[in-house]
Structure 1
Amino acid sequence: MKQLTRIEKAEICALKIPFKMDFTHAMASRAFSDSLVLKIEGRGEKGFGEAIVRDYVSGEIGKDADLLKDAKEIIARILEPLIGKDVSWEEGKEYLDSLALESHELPLLCAVETALLDMFCHSSGKDIYSLLKKEPLKQTIQYGGTLPMLSLSEAEYVLDMYEKVNIRNIRIKLGTDLDYNVEILKLSREKLGWNFDLRVDANASWSLEIALESLELCRKYGIFLVEEPFGRNREEILFLLKHPESHDFQFVADESALTVNDIEAMAKNRSYHMINLRLSKNGGLIKVLKMAKIAEKKGLQYQIGCHVGETGILSALGRVAASILPKAVYVDGSYDSYLLSENITSENFSFGFGGVAEIIRKQGLGFIVDETRLGRLSIGKTGCLPEMGKL
């Protein structure tokens, strides 16, 4: 017998959780988590989801005061056919998968899907694996680290921290300042040694000229995996692949890989070797699982990434994704207590020594939201259903 639930109420909160340290890369600098958290309710059950909106990744939906307003309109439109109806998870999943959404709407789809998954887990008494009818293929997940753009003294401190907790791979954020790129790569090799697994991420900031010079630097320091050098729909990647300097390098698509169509185009053009899948960017867990399957079929590798500032909601969901997708080359995420001054979940999903963390069973998606903290850490909220209006 199908387990049914009903959505009767929905609201979205805008968070502002200070970071323990600023996080900077070539496209932005952040001092706090600005996630949007969706809560849906019905028949005495609740479900929570999370969206992280980055205009330089999936597109802009509104800034400052307009962000909540625009997010509300998108979520209301997604939820409208489900409101007040008895639906099963299978029906909800089929409906969400059928939606033709713009790229800037994908983070909100992630929030809706995650909240529905959470609600169905609680109403059925099942954990996420039982609900999805998928068993975890890994019992522990090994996470890597990220080195943001910092002063050399700050970078040295972070590298020391990673070394102390025995992190085994690190992604280094690079930009357009070649002098900085030289110094940070040199420092990283000096601190961690030549056998340490390092890769770089340009966050779509490079020109073709800077890319060629940066590849020469990377080669010098034994780094051959480069993430998103140019950005979405930029033809420079095709020129770079034909250049002799790119020999031995592999390129990872992040901002360029938002949809299944993107992956299919990359496989056809052979423009990238690997895809960085991120829950909020790509529209939620179900789409990430689908995209990973297609990437694998098309001969592309994939990694599971995260957005800086994710709360325990997306940290828990990312761990689920990593446990179902054992062929991920790298997994990033679960930076919770390392980066956030506080969290909205009762559980701490931070990885432990060696970057290792166990999967969570028998507890829904794995997280429980502390609504008192959610309220205190929110700077605004609004109802998402037409009859509710602004709270």
Structure 2
Amino acid sequence: MTARVALDVYTTRVPMARSFAHAAHARRWSQSVLVRCTVGGVTGWGEGAPRAYVTGETLESVTHALLTARLPDWAEVFDGSFADGVRALASLGLPALLGGSEAPAPAAAAALETALLDALCRAHGRDMAEALAVAATPGVLRDAPRVRTSALVLDSSRTPGELLGALPSEALAHLTHVKVKALPDPWPTRELVDEVRAFVDPRRTTVSVDANGCWSPADALRAAALLADRTAWLEEPTRPRDWATLGAVQRDTGCPVMLDESAVTPADLDAAREHAAATYVNVRVSKCGGLLPSLRLLAHARARGLRCQLGVQVAEVGPLWAAGRLLAAWSDDLVAVESGRQDEWFAPDITEPPYAVDRVRHRAPPLAGPGLGLAPAPRLPLTHAGRVPVTPTTPALTTRTSA
């Protein structure tokens, strides 16, 4: 190998300016694992945002997975051409490699993969969009980027009046989608949706409800009946992968279902299709294991007749946010895009460059490269957890993911 790859693992916890709460969890701090990849004089950064209620991962489990896994020396990624390096990285099944086939670790994989991709792009002077183009199935990406209007998310820490009532008329006019975090009971959730609808023009602004898997099957069916004529879709209305209930929601109430916690791998989408349990899928980079697995999930969803939303993990602190903006701009046929509230939750100087969101037009453009185009700033508090061990040979490269 021509250049030695060093992978350092960091954890970070940053207080948020206000809380974010929903039926599954309340958050006042960011909680991310960052990986720094140093190779050939360049540095790339990656991030994973472990959320126990999403993938079962924690800050501790992700750190442990990264520091104890048997990983290759990355010669196939960094010693050949740019395209060969992207393809070599895309061929690895990193979530299973880091967590095992029975308990994969997608947030850990996202931190590692985005760091390696960022470093690879920087080493070759390439924008990350060029890496996506190498790895993507035809038809998944656009021919040119498009900055989409981001959805607003109403969580339980604010009322519709506090979120929507505070917006200037121009900002309301540009709004195309509002996601409402569900309350524990379906009836108050419907009342909350009606409050939201009173602020927006239904001819240009759709509304969805996200239960984060917290309703019982009976409540999910009751909620779907109450909300079918008020919402564009109901996201994760009951416990993950309860295919029978999810199918019944669509069949018995006519309310479309969006999968989130239930949709991590292509196999999840196959199961959903078998039970007619979904119409939409929420794709999130950390949940899916990185940018390249997210591309595969987008392609698989399209092949199964499912449309996608590009979502975020709450309180991403940098590289994940940049990765999401990139994927949002280049992915084709998305029903909605989320960009998070990082510019409101955190001080502007924890990333270089700072977060930039147009809160009137609800737009968050992708960053200029090379790579992701963003790095942690010195003010971001990082705790060094250790260096990822690398084996002298490449046994892990025999573990491949399907194309």
TM-score, normalised with respect to structure 2: 0.83
* CA displacement, residues 173-232 of structure 1 (integer Å, 9 cap, x when unaligned): 003234531442232122334443111000001112212332233246x21410001132
Q: Matched residues, percent identical?
A: 24
The one of 15, 18, 22 equivalent to 2:19 is: 22
Give the aligned partner of residue 87 of structure 1.
Answer: 79
Shift of 1:341: 3.5
Instruction: Please say if residues 36 and 115 of structure 2, whose CA atoms lie closer than 8 Å, have aligned partners that are also in contact.
Output: yes
Letter in 2 for 1:233: R
1:140 is paired with a residue of what secondary structure?
coil
Deviation string 1:307-356 (CA, Å, 9 cap, x unpaired) is: 00012311211121122212111111253202224553212333212212
Q: 339, 359, 363: which one pairs with 1:356?
A: 363
Give the match for residue 199 of structure 2. 191
Q: How does 1:215-364 map to 2 (within 5 A)?
A: 215-219=224-228, 222-234=230-242, 235-243=244-252, 246-247=253-254, 249-342=255-348, 344-352=350-358, 353-364=360-371
| Residues 85 and 146 (structure 1), Cα distance of their counterparts in 2 relative to 1, 3 Å cut | closer
Which residue of structure 2 lines up, in the alignment, with residue 168 of structure 1?
A: 176
1:146 equivalent in alignment to 2:153: yes
Would you say the 8 A contact 2:23–2:211 is kept in 1? yes
Distance 1:320 1:208 in 2: 36
What does residue 386 of structure 2 align with? 382
Aligned equivalent of 1:51, options 34, 43, 48: 48
Q: Deviations over 1:63-92 (max 9, x none)?
A: 6xx446424335x43x33427995345246
**Aligned twin of 1:72:** 66
- CA distance in structure 2 between the aligned counterparts of 1:14 and 1:356, rounded to whole angstroms: 29
Instruction: Return the alpha-carbon distance in structure 1 between the equivalents of residues 281 and 379 of structure 2.
Output: 35
Distance 1:342 1:348 in 2: 5
Pair 182,303 (structure 1): closer, same or farther in 2 beyond 3 Å: closer
CA distance in 1 between partners of 2:368 and 2:152 (Å): 25
- Contact map agreement 1:6 1:84 (CA 8 A) in 2: no
Distance 1:5 1:256 in 2: 42
How big is the alpha-carbon RMSD for the aligned residues of Structure 1 and Structure 2? 2.7
Tell me the residue number matched to 1:115: 115
Listed one character per residue, the Cα deviations across residues 115-171 of structure 1 (whole Å, up to 9, x for unaligned) are: 11111121111111234446753332221111111354xx42122345553332110
Gaps of 5+ in 1: none
Deviation at 1:9, TM superposition (A): 1.9
Judging changes above 3 Å, is the alpha-carbon distance between structure 1 residues 131 and 67 closer, same or farther for their aligned structure 2 residues? closer
Q: Which range moved further: 41-50 or 159-168?
A: 159-168
In the alignment, structure 1 residue 137 sits paired with structure 2 residue 134: no
CA 177–208 in structure 1, closer or farther in 2 if over 3 Å, else same: same
C-alpha distance in structure 2 between counterparts of 1:92 and 1:131, whole Å: 6
Please list the CA deviations of residues 267-298 of structure 1 after superposition, one character each: whole Å capped at 9, or x if unmatched.
23221011110000001111111111121121
- The answer as to whether partners of 1:129 and 1:136 remain within 8 angstroms in 2 is no
Change (3 A) 1:369 1:261: same
Larger mean CA deviation between 125-134 and 8-17 belongs to 125-134
Aligned mates of 1:349, 1:161 — CA distance in 2: 21
Distance 2:156 2:320 in 1: 24
Matched, 1:8 2:5: yes
- Contact 1:312/1:343 (8 A) holds in 2: no
Q: Distance in 1 between matches of 2:22 and 2:349?
A: 23
Gaps of 5+ in 2: 135-141, 392-403
1:332-381 deviation line (CA, Å, top 9, x unaligned): 125320222455321233321221233334432221332x223xx23553
Alignment of 1:177-188 (within 5 A): 177-188=185-196
- The number of equivalent residue pairs is 370
Report the counterpart of residue 162 of structure 2 in structure 1.
157
Residue 67 of structure 2 contacts residue 386 of structure 2 at CA under 8 Å; is this kept in 1?
A: no
Contact residue 11 and residue 383 of structure 1 kept, 8 A:
yes
Tell me the equivalent position of 1:212.
221
